[in-house]
Amino acid sequence: MSYADTPCPDFLLTAGHLLTGADASGEMQVIDDGAVLVRDGIVAAVGTFAELRRANPGIEVRGDRDIVAMPGFANSHHHFGLTPLMMGVPFAPLELWLPQFRKMRQVSLRLDTLYSAIEMLESGTTTVQHINSGLSGLVENWERATDEIVSAYGEIGMRCGYCFMIRDQNLLSYEDDSKVLEALPAEVGEWLAPSMQAARTPTSAYMDFFSRQHRYWAERSPDMVRMNLAPANLHWCSDHSLQMIFATARSHGASIHMHLLETERQARYARSRFDCSAVEHLDRLGCLGPELTLGHGNWMSRDDLDRLAGCGCMVCHNASSGLRLGSGIAPVNEMQRRNIPVALGIDQSNICDDRDMTIEMKLVWALHRETGMWNDRLEAARILTMATEHGAQSVGFGKITGRLEPGRQADIVLMSKSDIGRPVLDPRTPITDAVLHRGSKSAIRQVYVGGRLVVDNGRVTSIDRDAVLAEISDMLSAPMTEAERKADRMVAAMMPALEAFHRAQSPDAGYAPYRYNAMNDASRS
């Protein structure tokens, strides 16, 4: 049974400060001594506690004046639970990091999903865009994987967008797979061969599967699940595949989340392959539009951003990911100047190797300060909007959550003001600034999703979190299987050859200053 199917009592939630969402100018709207009236899991009214209490004298009252209440956060770019670092994969540049995932040990998809969902909910994230790294094997396996992942979010009570990465070329590098396989030891090529079969799955088969799943989940869980599409990246998808994916998404009213320009090599691939930028190539294909979120965007140029500004698409900023893998820093300030909506994603994990959005928001704020006395900078309200309203929009829930206003789902995070301010918080300090800079996972008292309490006293309530963690620990404490030992050996044999292939096929042009990638030189477009 989904936690979202449990009864949802009506109540009046009172808070010393109620952050409802940003206004048209970007300023966060705050109601002091505020309250939210929740009926059937929906925000029925917002206002001062005094006025809402007078209008609803008999209703249950929750919260108190020590509470700071705000919309639930959205992690707009997430892949799976147990992190690569936990599973023995060291950090490396993206092109040398992803291939090592093949040696990671596995737990059930339910447990893996619940693990990261626990981390997200307990740090205030109520909505996630789960990007399955890829479907393999028979269609029955696709159905089983999708149901197990989406049902796990339902079990814990979290709102999710679900999509699966689609590739039809260049699985191992930026070159044709046959070239890469020739450069690898023969035993590694033989070991990889079965998994390479996914590249030969027609995109039309994925679209048929998506259409069935879209219909199924729209009927089964219309408020908690969104079925979206995820073309993996420009070098992983043929033009024909991309156009089919976008046409399918638009015909279903679904969102699209596409990795793009995460690394400098990806930018060079587009230039060499299409004689234009990756963004311009998508534009030529007719693939830019309001249904699209571009993940990462670290290597977008000013021309790219000008192009995006007119198409209505969004960018998902994965700050921790770009720093930890040395992929780059997205030019978020330039995006803001063009009014390009930016959402936040934690990707595989954030700077602390977990999924704490309160940490990610602080990093984003600090990362984009830039030097100078008079330049525009991201203020606290902008960061909170990225993590709430823009995130909900990216995942496909923009009309029903992301703000605290009548008619929207009651996805609410409650922080303790005394914990935020300990030992003191001067009343002149704007509460929005205090929440961003001093708010933390430890300050979170309760979290509601659709009016249902999913976190109380900082711990999830819908599942036995300790039992989930213990089961994962027990499974991974067991000795490695023969298949797992072989995977470890094969990856160890593969990586030197793959690194040599990259050096030969895609040599570095030389070290470039880190900030801001394609915009280091003001003369470059």
pLDDT at 143: 96
How far apart are alpha carbons 474 and 492 in whole angstroms?
A: 26
Indicate whether 487 belongs to any domain. no
Residues 307 and 200 in one domain: yes
Residues 371 and 444 in one domain: no
Indicate whether 484 belongs to any domain. no
Question: Cα 330 to the chain's mean position, in Å?
Answer: 15
Residues 175 and 94 in one domain: yes
| 76 has a pLDDT exceeding 60 | yes
How far apart are alpha carbons 153 and 78 in whole angstroms?
A: 13
More confident: 514 or 106: 106
| 523 has a pLDDT exceeding 60 | no
Q: Which residue has the tokens 């050096």?
A: 503
pLDDT at 524: 44
Question: What's the mean pLDDT in 291-297?
Answer: 98
Q: Where a domain ends, among 395, 424, 443? A: 395
pLDDT at 508: 63
Residues 387 and 412 in one domain: no
- Other beta carbons less than 10 A from residue 42's beta carbon: 18
pLDDT at 17: 98
Instruction: Return the structure tokens found at 431.
Output: 């509460």
CB 46 within 8 A of CB 36: yes
Please state whether the peptide bond connecting residue 162 to the residue before it is cis, i.e. omega within 30 degrees of 0: no
Closest to 85 in 3D by CA, of 71, 100, 95: 100
Indicate whether 331 belongs to any domain. yes
**Read out DSSP for 356-387?**
-HHHHHHHHHHHT--SSSS-----HHHHHHII
List the strands of the sheet with 314-317, edge to edge: 256-260, 292-296, 314-317, 342-344
Taking the CA atoms of the chain, what radius of gyration do you get in angstroms? Answer: 23
Residues 85 and 187 in one domain: yes
Question: What's the mean pLDDT in 351-376?
Answer: 94
| Helix or strand run (H / E) with residue 131 | strand 125-132
The whole domain housing 98 covers 73-395
Q: Where a domain ends, among 460, 478, 499? A: 460
| 294 has a pLDDT exceeding 80 | yes
| 354 has a pLDDT exceeding 60 | yes
pLDDT at 330: 96
Residues 53 and 127 in one domain: no
In the chain, how many domains are there?
2
Residues 218 and 282 in one domain: yes
- Other beta carbons less than 10 A from residue 226's beta carbon: 23
Q: Which CATH number fits the domain that encloses residue 370?
A: 3.20.20.140
How far apart are alpha carbons 434 and 116 in whole angstroms?
A: 26
SS3 label, residue 228: coil
Residues 387 and 341 in one domain: yes
CB 166 within 8 A of CB 203: yes
Residues 329 and 343 in one domain: yes
| 69 has a pLDDT exceeding 60 | yes
How far apart are alpha carbons 360 and 397 in whole angstroms?
A: 21
Global pTM value: 0.96
